[in-house]
Amino acid sequence: MEKKEIRKKVLDIRNRIPAEIRRQKSMEITDRVCKMSCFLRASSILIYRNFRSEVETGMLIEAGWEMGKEVFCPRVEGKEMEFYRVKIWEDFESGAYGIREPKAECPVFESQSDDKVLIVLPGAVFDKKRHRIGYRRRILRPVSGTASPNANSCCLF
């Protein structure tokens, strides 16, 4: 089976998950991530806003705020994407594809060498080497170029 076919099959299954079950699973995932040492140690979190049937990330964003972490979300302008710091829900506006993005006036992420950064990415299908197979390849380019050597990442699917 081709990668595209596998991805389509997995997304079809994920898309059929009822909203109430997706919400419950998202709560369970949030609870697990919040207990991970990489989350607890992180001073900054780079995290996506969920789209379609992806894991809901709002609870994880709020947990970061409550724990005093700097939270950054992506903003797309044309073919470019940067991560901007968000402190409250009012820092967001409707962006590309209707996804809530940080307002342009929010501060841009600039990693310091001593930052402990956690990068949270969406993912649905992975190969045997744990590489994502997906439609958001561009999310990795700006993240890989800006994150400190102390960055950790996790994928939610």
Q: What's the confidence (pLDDT) of residue 2? A: 81
152-156 and 117-122 strand pairing: parallel
Which two tokens mark 53? 């049937």
pLDDT digits (tens, 9 = 90+) for 113-137: 778 999 998 877 777 776 777 655 4
Q: What is the pLDDT of residues 82-115, one digit of tens each?
A: 999 999 999 999 998 889 999 999 999 998 777 8
Q: How far apart are CA 76 and CA 116, in angstroms?
A: 24
Secondary structure of residue 102 in the 3-state scheme: strand
Nearest of 55, 51, 104, 46 to residue 80 by alpha carbon:
104
- Please provide residue 134's backbone torsions phi and psi, each rounded to the nearest 5 degrees: -160, 180
pLDDT on residue 152? 62
Q: What is the DSSP letter of 83?
A: E
pLDDT value for 5: 87
> Whole-structure pTM over 0.75, yes or no?
yes
**Token pair for 138:** 């561009």
pLDDT at residue number 87: 98
Angle at 15 between CA 17 and CA 137, to 5 degrees: 130
pLDDT at 124: 75
